A and B are shown apart, each in its own frame.
Chain A
C-alpha cells in the first residue's frame, strides 16, 4: 500500500541515521567513563525473557510487528 504517509516515513528512515552518525561525531565517551553504560540495566532490553513475553502478547492482540529482533516468532496466534 503506497500511501503518502508511508512514503513520508521512508524519507524519515533515510534521514535519521545521517543525523545519528554525523551530528554526534564530536561526542566521545572514554572507556573509564563507561561505568553507567556498563550496568546490565543500561540496554534496550535488560529483561529479555519478559520483553519476549510482552511482545508475544502485543503481537497476538495487535496488527503490527517489528522491533529489534528478526523473525516472525512462529506463532499461529496472528
Chain B
C-alpha cells in the first residue's frame, strides 16, 4: 500500500472538475452546505428514446476522361433528412459537364479521304483514325427520394427525377415496396419506374438511313421507358448476404441516336464513300438478372455480383463485378475493384453499309451496340480527416474497352485497320459524407 498526495493541479484536473460540475449542476449543494435552490432537477426531465430527425449530406465529384475523346466533370450533392423511425427524404442535385469528341459511327479509313457527312458538312479524316464529332453539353438533374417504413416488415420508397440537357429532357418516377420476412432475414422487393423523355436534336430529325439533308417534321420526339423490378435478398449467415434481382425494361419512342451515322463503303476496297444516318427500332425490351453476394470475413468484406442481360435488339451481355474491402487501421479501408463486361452485337449493328446493296430497315454503327468487352480496374480508399467530421472516399478507376476490330465480313482495306480500336478511360471520384 502506498499513500500519496500529489503536488499541483494542472489542466486535466481542472477541466475534469469543470466537467463534474457541469454534470452535477448543483455542486454547491453537494460539496458545500448551502442549499441548491433553483437548480433544475434532472430527475424530472423526460426520458430518452424519442425519434428525431437528423441530416446527412453527401457529395461526390467525378472527373472522367477518355483518351483523345470526351472529358466529363460531374459534381453531385445530396441532402437527406433522416427520421428516427427510419424514414428518409433526400434531394440530389447533379451537374454533368461534357466536352470533347464522340465517334460519329463512321469507320476509320486507310487513306485520307473527304466525305460529305450526313449533316451536310464536308470533312476530312486522317488515316486509321475513327471519325469523331466535337461536342459540348451540360446536363442538370434533380432527384427526390422518399423512403418510409411502416412496420418492421413493410417499407416503401418513392422517387422522382427531372433532368435537362441541351437536346434531351427527362421526367420520371419510381416506386418500390419492400417486404421483410423471417425477422428480416428475407426481403422481397417489388418496384416499378416510368420515364418520359424528350429528344430535341440540334438541327432537327434527319430522315433515317439518308444522307441527312432531308429533315422530318417536328423538333421534339418522345421516348418512354417502363421498368419493373422483382428482387429478393437473403441473410444466409452472420457473415453472408445474397440477393437476386430481375428487371424488365420496356422502351418505346425515338431510340435512335440523332447524330450518329454509318459509313457507306465501296464493295471492293471497303473504303468509305459516304455516310448515312442511323436507324433503330422504336421499341426495345430489355431484361437482366443480377445475382449479388456480400461476404464478411473477420474484418474484410468481399462484394461479388454477376449480371446477365439480354434484349430484343439481340444484345446479350454478362458482367462480373468484384470488390474486396480491406480494413486498415483507424476506420480506413482500401477497396480494389475489378469488373469484366462482355456483350454480343445488336442484330442491326454494322460497321458500314455497302454501296449498291439494298438498305436494311435498321442499321447502326454505334460501338455500344457492337460486340464489346470492357475491363475495369480500380480502387477506393476510404478515410476520415483527423478531428474533422465526415467520411471521405476516393475512388480511381481505369477502364479499357475494345470491340471486334477485325470482323470476318470486313471488306477490302477494312481488313487492314482496327475497326473498333481500344478506348481507354480514366476516372476519379471523390465522395464525402457527413451526418449532422
Q: Do A and B bind each other?
A: yes
Interface of A toward B, CB cutoff 8 Å: 1-3, 5-6, 9, 12-13, 16-17, 20-21, 24, 27-29, 31, 33-37, 39, 41-44, 47-50, 52-54, 56-58, 61-76, 78
B338-380: which residues lie under 8 A (CB-CB) from chain A?
341, 343, 346-347, 368-369, 372, 374, 380
The interface-forming segment of B10-18, B119-127, B188-196, B212-220 is B188-196
B154-210: which residues lie under 8 A (CB-CB) from chain A?
159, 161-163, 165, 167-168, 170-176, 182-183, 185-186, 191-193, 195, 197, 199
CA distance A33 to B185 in the complex (A): 12
Given contacts A41-B301, A49-B60, contact A63 B236 (CB under 8 A): no
A-B interface, 4 closest residue pairs, ranked by CB to CB distance from nearest: A74-B170, A76-B168, A66-B288, A71-B193
| Cβ-defined partner of B249 (8 Å) among A3, A66, A78 | A66
B183 touches A37 (CB 8 A): no
A72 touches B195 (CB 8 A): yes
Chain A proximity of B186: nearest CB distance (Å): 7
Not counting A9-B289, A12-B308, a sample of 16 additional A-B residue pairs whose C-beta atoms are within 8 angstroms of each other reads A2-B312, A3-B314, A21-B186, A41-B325, A41-B333, A42-B301, A50-B393, A52-B60, A63-B315, A66-B307, A70-B176, A70-B193, A70-B228, A71-B161, A71-B173, A75-B96
CA distance A20 to B429 in the complex (A): 35
| Cβ-defined partner of B244 (8 Å) among A16, A43, A58, A73 | A16
Given contacts A1-B347, A37-B235, contact A64 B315 (CB under 8 A): yes
- Chain B residues with CB under 8 Å of A41's CB are 301, 325, 333
- Chain A residues with CB under 8 Å of B225's CB are 72
- Chain A residues with CB under 8 Å of B404's CB are none
- Chain A residues with CB under 8 Å of B141's CB are 74
**Total number of residue pairs linking A and B with CB closer than 8 Å:** 219
- Chain A residues with CB under 8 Å of B401's CB are 61
- Chain B residues with CB under 8 Å of A47's CB are 380, 393, 395, 431
- Quick one: closest A residue to B239, CB to CB? A36
B409-436: which residues lie under 8 A (CB-CB) from chain A?
423, 425, 427, 429, 431, 433
CA distance A66 to B168 in the complex (A): 21
Looking at A27, A41, A48, A56, which has the most chain B CB atoms within 10 Å of its CB?
Answer: A41
Given contacts A71-B172, A74-B197, contact A36 B316 (CB under 8 A): no
B289 touches A13 (CB 8 A): yes
- Quick one: closest A residue to B373, CB to CB? A62
Chain A proximity of B288: nearest CB distance (Å): 3
List 21 interface pairs A-B (beta carbons < 8 Å), by A numbering.
A1-B311, A1-B312, A20-B244, A21-B232, A29-B238, A34-B235, A34-B238, A36-B239, A48-B58, A49-B431, A50-B60, A64-B311, A64-B317, A66-B290, A67-B307, A68-B231, A68-B290, A70-B175, A72-B172, A74-B163, A76-B165
The interface-forming segment of B30-38, B43-51, B291-299 is B291-299
CA distance A6 to B301 in the complex (A): 33
A12 touches B289 (CB 8 A): yes
- Chain B residues with CB under 8 Å of A21's CB are 186, 232, 234
Chain A proximity of B94: nearest CB distance (Å): 9
B303 an interface residue at 8 Å Cβ cutoff? yes
CA distance A68 to B291 in the complex (A): 10
B229-270: contact bitstring with A at CB < 8 Å (1 yes, 0 no)? 101111111110111111101010000000000000000000
